[in-house]
Structure formats: C-alpha cells, structure tokens
Amino acid sequence: MLIRKLCSSYRLIAALCVLFVGLSSQQALAHAHLKLEKPAANAAVSSAPEALTLGFSEGIELNFSGVNVTGPNNSTVKTGALALDSNDNTQVIVPLEQSLTAGEYHVDWHVVSVDGHKTKGKYSFTVK
C-alpha cells in the first residue's frame, strides 16, 4: 500500500515537472530576439549609414517599440519614424535624420512582438 502511494506521488511530481518545463520553454520562445543588425554589432564601417536595420525573430508592433541612438560624447542622434520592411514585419528600419561623424555609436532598442511580449537590448558600432 505504501509503495503504491509513493509510486503514485512520483508519477504526479514527474508529470508536473514535464508540464512546467513545457510551459516555461514556450514562454521563453515567445519573445522577439534581435537576430540581425545593420551595421552589425561591434562593426567598424567606413561610410556612415543613412538608416539602421534591426531584424527580429518575430513580427514587431511599431506603436509600442522604439530605438535611441547616441554618438560620441553621448550626443543624441535624431532618428525618423520607425518603419517595417514592406516585405517582412520582423525587420525594423530606423532612418537617421543626420549624418553620422566618426566615432562610436550606441543603439538602445525596445520592441513589443506581435504576440505582446516586450524585449530590449543594446549594441554598438563605430564609424571610421
């Protein structure tokens, strides 16, 4: 009798563990992760870009997303309105409204994916 109760308890605990792991992994996969940056993270580019492109693992809701760019001496770089690539809602285009001079630039982004999950991150690149 005691052995049956123990076996039953172990099965219940095992089932709950499997359920927890399954639900946790789905939630972790549901966030939009940055997969591509142009210019690339830590890149040194010889010509200043006119726009940045950020590619994510999921579609993005522009109304709840933003990108801030700062340059040498922490100066803010003026950017235009974010836009999605017309063929791919995972690609966010950030127009730069001013020409970038030589120096290191920091890109600080936050996005909301189409399923409502928020993510954020940052990276840097250098203009020679």
Residue range 73-120, pLDDT digits in tens: 999 999 999 999 999 999 999 999 999 999 999 999 999 999 999 999
Evaluate whether 69 touches 95 at the Cβ level (below 8 Å).
no
Nearest partner of 66 among 122, 24, 22, 104, judged by Cα: 122
Q: What is the pLDDT of residues 24-75, one digit of tens each?
A: 444 445 689 999 999 999 999 999 999 999 999 999 999 999 999 999 999 9
| All structural domains of the chain with their residue ranges | 1-30, 31-127
Give the pLDDT of residue 24. Answer: 46
Quick check: 16 pLDDT over 50?
A: no
| Fold classification of 31-127 (topology level) | Immunoglobulin-like (2.60.40)
Residues 118, 116: Cα–Cα separation, whole Å: 7
Quick check: 2 pLDDT over 70?
A: no
Query: Do the strands 88-95 and 83-85 form a parallel or antiparallel pair, or are they unpaired?
Result: antiparallel
